[in-house]
Every structure is written in C-alpha cells, then in structure tokens.
Structure 1
C-alpha cells in the first residue's frame, strides 16, 4: 500500500497521470525529500516491475488513478519500498488495500498453504483469487516458486 502512495504522490502533486521521469524524481527527492535521486530512480524500477508505472520514451504513466489514493500528511515512505517484494508480500499488500486486516490475511494464507501443501506465494495467489482480487500478474511468480522450489510447500518464508 505504501508503495502505491509513494508512487501516487508526484502525480497528485502535478494533477496528472503522466510525468517525465526527471519530474517524478524531482518530486520525490527535492520537493518531498523522501528519497535521494538514485533511490527515486530505484523506486521507478520497482513500481514498473510491480505494474504501478509504465515507461515510454522518458515518460512515466500511472497504471492506476492517483486521485483515488490519499497521501496522509505525516506519510514518509520506508526505504523497504526500494527492494523487490515477494509475491506473498505483494498479495498481502493488495489484500490489506482492499480492507482486510493483515493478521487475518496472513492466518488465512498460512492455513491454505498447509491445506494445499504449496509455497506461501502460491497460497497467497490462490487465496487472493478466492477473495475476488485480480492477481494474474503474480501467478507466474508463484508458479516459478513451485517449479524452482523443492516441492515440499515449505519455502522457509515466515508469514
């Protein structure tokens, strides 16, 4: 959720759904003082991989409506946003964004993982789909966790 907020802030500030990359970097680094310019560029990479931004000829377009996002006045994004998140973390964020309590979602995903004997990523994707969430972009990530994993359903990822 906070990744979406951090990405939305420059668009909200400009009142648009498209910005030049340098405008986005300036908004996050100089205007808001949330990140260094290099970190802001890293955020663009992470947000692009997670489907929140699309790049085209030096421009960035939000794939969601930034106007639907509220940036709390006291909000300061954590540097953890700059690291690649697992499919489990991404699904969990999506569930929380839809109003589900984090501890309830984790418990339900863990129970489903035990029931199905699959990785936590796979259980998260299945659970989200059962809740009516669109997570098709994460299904290949979960599938690769099964194919690349040892097949015992325990990926050692604490949930």
Structure 2
C-alpha cells in the first residue's frame, strides 16, 4: 500500500480580480461547495477560505493527483456550479493561472491559521501586495507574453 502526504497551498483569483465574492453568505456557499466537490472527487482539501477576489486552499495531494488536475477539478467545477446556481448577475470565471507552494508538516498550523484569517489579513494588505510578497519570498517573477 502506498502512503503519500504532500501538502500544497494553492491560491487562485477571480477573472481580472473582480470582487465577485463580495458577501459573507456568497463566500460561505462557494467555499462549502468547493469543499464538498473536492470530497466527491477524492481531493483532500484541508481548508478553504478567501477574500472578495481570490481563494486559498490547503490540499494534501493523493498518490495519483497532479497539481494541475486538482486545480482544474476545483476551479472548473466551482465556476460551472456558480453559473448554474446563478449566484452572480454576470457569467463567473476564475483567472486561468494559480499559485502553488509546498507546505511542510511543521508549517501546517500556521498556514491553516493564515487561510482561516483572510478577512483580517486583507483588512491590512491587498491581494496585489500579498502576491508581491509571495513572489519575493519564493523568488518568482512574472513571465511576460504568456
């Protein structure tokens, strides 16, 4: 029997970072649905939360799961569900890209706390500033022309 435990912190945003997730009730419904859908797809979604224009997920990848496939299953199905439920006046779509970093077991609690405290966090820091911090911390740079 194989045993795998690889945690990743995934972040993805609404198309053009539009603040579509602008009410507590809407966010609650979307995040609950993402959690339920992940469970149905056998994706171990430890926690999910976000702010008006983006979502954070702490995920433990299964032995046959890739980051791109998990992102596709979570983002694709949730945007389909949001549109099917007519939760927005206009068509909803997630941005194509996403950000993912590995999380060591020793940092799981701090990442969970960070994800659960998104409202408080974004009262002090914008999503753009957050991205810039991630990019600097992990040595990422924007790839032009893609």
TM-score of the two chains, using structure 2 as the length reference: 0.32
The answer to which structure has the higher strand fraction is 2
TM-score of the two chains, using structure 1 as the length reference: 0.30
The answer to which structure has the higher helix fraction is 1
Q: Using CA pairs under 8 Å that are at least 6 residues apart, name the structure with larger relative contact order, 1 or 2.
A: 2
Larger radius of gyration: 1
